[in-house]
Copies of this chain bind each other. A is one copy, B any other.
Amino acid sequence: MATLHHSPFCPHSRFIRLALAEMGMEPELVEERPWERRDAFLLLNPAGSTPVLVEQTGLAIPGAAIIAEYLDETRGLGLSGRRLLPDTTTARVEVRRLLHWFLVKFDAEVTEYLVTEKIYKRFMKSAQGGGPPDMGAIRAARANVRYHLKYIGYLIGQRRWIAGDHLTYADLAAAAHLSCADYLGDVPWEEDEMARDWYARLKSRPSFRAILADRVPGMAPAAHYADLDF
């Protein structure tokens, strides 16, 4: 059995948990607090970030985008119609473009601000960067999330899923990032019905169940967070 080193509100970890669940894999989960820079974890990933997938052979694969490529290369062909990175060149470019959009751009403009300021800082010591949230960063994230939501709505107006007519890594990465912001009540779903309907479809999938059950100690989720008909 593979092991996934993750952090429950790390959006990149959530993306890989979703991808593994969609592929029918059930890894053992090991929770990391990346800011503690645990020695044994740094050996698995010198960058010190989650997620890291460790195969039974001992091979460590660090980073969400790297794990996604690895899973496709080692298990993708066996999934045939349910493959999360499609077969054709053009479709692969589009999935990777949007995967990168959410893992890098959305992360830098929205999720990293929200998760760091509202969640991680509660658990970090002051020497680790803990302390009260930076309201400027939170305001920036709340402003930025709106155009991303519009962009998802625009894409879903043209296709069944974000990157085409099949569910792909792009949907799972987008939904993983949005799920973190949604826990915190920072996604204005009322502004885009298409985006909301797409997210409701994803949220209803069995792969999403474990994520919707996660809780930040001492911090309840937004009222609609785990509601499938929000």
Give the interface of A toward B (CB within 8 A): 45-47, 59, 61-63, 65-66, 69-70, 73-74, 89-90, 92-93, 96-97, 100-101, 104-105, 108, 151
Q: Are A74 and B89 in contact (CB under 8 A)?
A: yes
Q: Is the CB of A73 within 8 A of B47?
A: no
Set B66, B96, B151: member contacting A100, Cβ < 8 A: B66
Copies in the complex: 2
Say whether A47 contacts B101, CB under 8 Å: yes
Residue of B with least CB distance to A64: B100
B46 close to A69 (CB less than 8 A): no
A49 to chain B minimum Cβ distance, whole angstroms, is 8
Interface SS of chain A = helix
Q: A70–B89 contact, CB under 8 A?
A: yes
B104 touches A66 (CB 8 A): no
How far does the alpha carbon of A196 sit from the alpha carbon of B153 in the complex, in Å?
48
For A61, list chain B residues within 8 Å (CB): 93, 97
Contacts of A62 in B (CB 8 A): 97
Q: Tell whether A151 pairs with B46 under 8 Å between CB atoms, given A65-B96, A100-B65, A104-B104.
A: yes
Which B residues are in CB contact (< 8 Å) with A73? Answer: 89, 92
Supposing A47-B101, A65-B65, A151-B46 touch, asked if A93 and B70 sit within 8 A by C-beta, the answer is yes
